[in-house]
A and B are shown apart, each in its own frame.
Chain A
Amino acid sequence: MDISWYLVVSAFIFCIGAAGVLTRRNPLVILLCLELMLNAANLALIAFSRMHGNSDGQIFAIIVMVVAACEVTVGLGLIVAIYRRRLPIDVDELRELQG
């Protein structure tokens, strides 16, 4: 398949993830949608890496996966902390940053 097909799929997945971030209210699902967007970026990176025949893009994708894992770890820790404090798990309710 041509590279452009992969890029279109990547753009579509990115937009689905963006729609999820904008519409869902559960922070867990918002983290999942962030994963979708990062994976779409990974797909584009690897498609361009294949297009150029240069494996630097794959290194970039691996680094993106590392950053995504860190983001998930901290985000899930925040959600667990929110749950421990008996706060509502809803991003519309969590408007204040004060502890």
Chain B
Amino acid sequence: MSAVIFFIAAIGAIAGAIGVIALRNPFYSVLALVGHLISLAALFLLLRAEFVAAAQVVVYAGAVMVLYVFVVAYVGDGTTPIGPGGSGLRVAAGLFVGALFVELTIAMLGSGLKAIDTKGAPYRAGFGQPAAIGQALLTKFLFPFEVASLLLLVAAVGAVVLARRRRGLEGGGDEQDDTSRYITVRSLFTGTMAETVGVVPLPPEDRFGNGNGAANGGGNGHDGGNGSGAAGPRVPDERGGW
């Protein structure tokens, strides 16, 4: 029975892997990789790695592949052609990969490990289950666990920095961020709270108020006259400080 499941899962994994590199549309490649990952999780279950199989399905086939699908949908650009002039390169790549497969197989099967032709060590209760994995992670492998969490943090920050929307790119079509419209420089303890958080749009000469202080030389009278047209609350007198 386990042999049947093994062959089904192995064929599924290999077919998914071939689908990833053979399909032209990246979206279908991602879907093939999802099938590959689920088949691989079945292989993990056969090897009694239950927690890793569950993590594979939840984290990989769930979260990471959703990320891929979003990026493929965002970038669009469906069928990228393989391109002319690559045929010689593809033949060379095929030869290299065939040699690599032969070498890997010889290296692993010819390694002289005595147990490699058995079904493995006798099964112990709790092997590969979440309790055993968690205990190992928090006792014996505590330092790699913490380093992995730090690595995840760095990767998350790096992804945000890389993919954020920058200002001043060439190419125009990108919509610029409008945060500068809402950020006003004003001295402390002046203005209303609504103006401070940028809810009320300020009139143009009030932006970056420190530079425009001389232009507002009219003082309170100027502010009072300006307040008639603007919507929202006006506080003519409290801003006299700048």
Contacts and interface: CB of A to CB of B under 8 A. Distances in A.
Interface of A: 1-9, 11-20, 22-26, 28-29, 31-33, 35-36, 39, 42-44, 46-47, 49-56, 58-59, 61-63, 65-74, 76-81, 83-86, 89-90, 92
Contacts, number: 253
The 5 closest A-B pairs by CB, nearest first: A53-B121, A20-B21, A70-B155, A77-B162, A22-B93
B158 A73 contact: yes
B26 A26 contact: yes
B155 A69 contact: yes
Interface of B: 2-3, 6, 10, 13-14, 17-18, 20-21, 26, 29-30, 33, 36-37, 40, 43-44, 46-49, 51-52, 55-56, 59-60, 63-64, 67-68, 71-72, 74-75, 77, 80, 82-83, 86, 89-90, 93-94, 96-98, 100-101, 104-105, 108-109, 113, 115-124, 127-128, 132-133, 136-137, 140-141, 144, 148, 151-152, 154-156, 158-163, 165-166, 169, 171, 173-174
Contacts of B101: 11-12, 15
Contact of A16 (B18, B29, B128, B162): B18
A32 B64 CA distance: 11
Given A2-B116, A36-B21, A51-B121, 12 more contacts: A11-B104, A15-B104, A24-B82, A50-B121, A55-B128, A56-B140, A70-B151, A76-B67, A76-B68, A80-B74, A80-B163, A89-B75
A11 B20 CA distance: 16
B36 A9 contact: no
Given A15-B97, A25-B82, A52-B121, A6 B162 contact: no
A83 B120 contact: no
B14 A13 contact: yes
Contact of A84 (B14, B96, B165): B165
A46 B30 CA distance: 24
A44 B44 CA distance: 10
B73 to A, nearest CB: 11
A13 B21 CA distance: 11
A18 B148 CA distance: 26
A10 B53 CA distance: 16
Nearest to A89: B77
A33 B40 CA distance: 15
B100 A18 contact: yes
Contacts of A17: 17, 20-21
A56 B137 CA distance: 9
A8 B43 contact: no
Given A4-B117, A55-B136, A84-B165, A28 B71 contact: yes
Contact of A59 (B13, B67, B72, B137): B137
A22 B98 CA distance: 13
A23 to B, nearest CB: 5
Given A19-B97, A29-B29, A56 B118 contact: no
